[in-house]
């Protein structure tokens, strides 16, 4: 059994909602096996307030969360990345940096909760729906027997996880 910890980076454009939720979720559900990080190609000045509100309601520690540029993870002395997942279509279409460690990559796109229009209650529900979709994928991912899969099967698995949607 492989006891190593895997570094996972979630990317979005602004790094203020989806990627931050995914970072928190993988650190919870993959504790001891996965280290989650998040970053953006064009990070916002602050985490979206509804992201912080939702994560606090779900008992996550949010004090040290901040938007980060993906450049922080592309330096030669940066942590070796094992997996990089884009969670927004815009970031998936951008030219990503070269990541240390030649990680496996997949697109796990979900709708942008920060762009959702509606009442405050509708926005909160939408943020929670996006969180649940990401959390569901992360639970499946963290349950994979990574050490038992060859690289082709693992790459196929992480791509398939990105296609899983919650029922409306």
The pTM of the whole model exceeds 0.95: no
Q: What is the 3-state secondary structure (H, E, C) of the chain?
A: CCCCCEEEEEEECCCCCHHHHHHHHHHHHCCCCEEEEEEECCCCCCCCHHHHHHHHHCCCCCCCCCCCEHHHHCCCCCCCCCEEEECCHHHHHCCCCCCCCCCEEEECCCCCHHHCCCCHHHHHHHHHHHHHHHHHHHHHHHHCCHHHCCHHHHHHHHHHHCCCCCCC
Active site (catalytic) residues = 12, 88, 96
pLDDT of residue 98: 75
Q: Which fold has domain 6-159?
A: Rossmann fold (3.40.50)
Q: Is the pLDDT of residue 104 over 80?
A: yes
Q: Is the pLDDT of residue 1 over 60?
A: no
Q: How do residues 40-96 score in pLDDT, each as one tens digit? A: 999 999 999 999 999 999 999 999 999 999 999 988 888 899 999 999 877 556 677
Q: How do residues 106-151 score in pLDDT, each as one tens digit? A: 999 999 999 999 999 999 999 999 999 999 999 999 999 998 889 9
């Amino acid at each position: 059994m492989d006891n190593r910890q895997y570094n996972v980076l979630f990317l979005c454009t602004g790094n203020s909602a989806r990627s931050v939720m995914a970072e928190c979720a993988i650190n919870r559900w993959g504790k001891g096996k996965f280290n989650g990080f998040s970053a953006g190609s064009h990070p916002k000045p602050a985490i979206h307030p509804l992201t912080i509100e939702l994560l606090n309601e779900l008992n996550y520690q949010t004090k040290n969360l901040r938007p980060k540029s993906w450049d922080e993870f592309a330096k030669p002395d940066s942590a070796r990345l094992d997996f990089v997942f884009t969670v927004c279509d815009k970031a998936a279409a951008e030219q990503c940096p070269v990541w240390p460690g030649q990680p496996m990559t997949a697109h796990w796109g979900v709708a942008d909760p920060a762009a959702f229009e509606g009442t405050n209650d509708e926005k909160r529900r939408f943020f929670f729906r996006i969180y649940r979709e990401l959390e569901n994928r992360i639970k499946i991912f963290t349950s994979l027997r990574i050490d038992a899969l060859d690289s082709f099967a693992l790459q196929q698995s992480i791509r398939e996880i990105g296609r899983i949607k919650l029922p409306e």
